[in-house]
Structure 1
């Protein structure tokens, strides 16, 4: 089968489509025939060697890429309950020690990292959900803000930020969205109450003008760190979803860097919301699997609204 791999760190030119052995599911695992797999910023970071430099993964001869997958189960491992061949699913590969990622013709995942695909949703759109949706969901769970609370979402037009704004609005939170000047209509459509352009020189002052005393919490999807922290009130909460950007917890702020973990229950919740039309799944473009290097180059250029998705 085909798999997107790298054998050295560098730019998109190090990506290759390798012919590898088809993996077999072990106990408690399923094998998914990939129909679609999103390309995320973490794939670019992996390819560039930054995860290895940070000690988050061991450098090895061959590294597979890809975290998100949508497809059809074609085999189940011994003792695996709840799934059978033919089931349409979405899944998240969150382990950095396994040889292959989800950018491959077939993907083996633990059943605990898989959930039913959203009914009535194309595989390409469904593939945008696991990594970004779970990151937003888990960050909001950490923040734990009560209904009626106020939340700053930075990068609100992006993959994680967009889901965060929608999920927060569903929790009856009032969202201050930080995004590009042209994205105001988009983020308000996702549920934001207020909008602040990311070009605003004094972010904290702008947010506090809207919410006197500061917001109850912040979900920092843009990696602003210390620049966004002053917008949060004393003893508020701050969730950073960009590795290495969590600020010092000044003013008794609860601060955490959110490290994603695969969670079948959370995935199922997100899938149900997507099936009901309560989450916006955005695809910028679909490309065949063998155009993975082009997808990396295009993502690095920026300016996308929605994910690039590799398809079989």
Structure 2
């Protein structure tokens, strides 16, 4: 199989309007489509992410009786969170056959026009959920009959996001998962941190052909790693989503204006150019850990102190 484009990040919430208002007000996302599909058990809004070519953000909420999204919320204590990664594939039937050959049993939409499966190695338990569609089938969230969404009158300070940069997944062995994604879906490893660069973690980043965003894998190192604690609670789940901002002071001022604290701030410089990054806790974003970064020159933060991956 081949994933040739990431379409969106899908987030589930019990309060659709409040989450959309947050993403408009603080994040500066722009609603473009809205739908309500009780037969699919979902209603939602698709939002445009500033600067992101071809990748969007979708907020989903239960609709109708027996919604699988309500079951998902109930299983997660009623809390909002990241639900799936939407992707496009060349041949949906080939994807099903490949996954089943690997011991992964995908589920499908009510109309059979999309598949859903955890794409992490099955022997490690469930990982990040991917929802995949083939060419010509544009809906995969009950949004076949979506209508244009009118933006609200929200104004004021926003983060000044310029791109959705990457999705990060936690896993015990970065090389094992990277080889799995390369073989399964055509992801391409591009760089990794030296093993001893950080006392509690090491990471590896992969390009997704046809997508402007990347896939990061972080693994624990040393004693009492935060990734080890995350793994014990969540398994091979998505750890965070990262956005680039145009101006660091503006982004921090927006967080202050929206009573949104940040934590874990880092700053540094590479070849005379500065960079900064920080996190926003999931309780302030609708259940998704968000990382923000700024770099004075393109590539300074992303490639800072990295070495090439050992295989192509």
Name the structure with the higher strand share: 2
Report TM bin, short chain: under 0.3
Give the TM-score normalised by the residue count of structure 2: 0.27
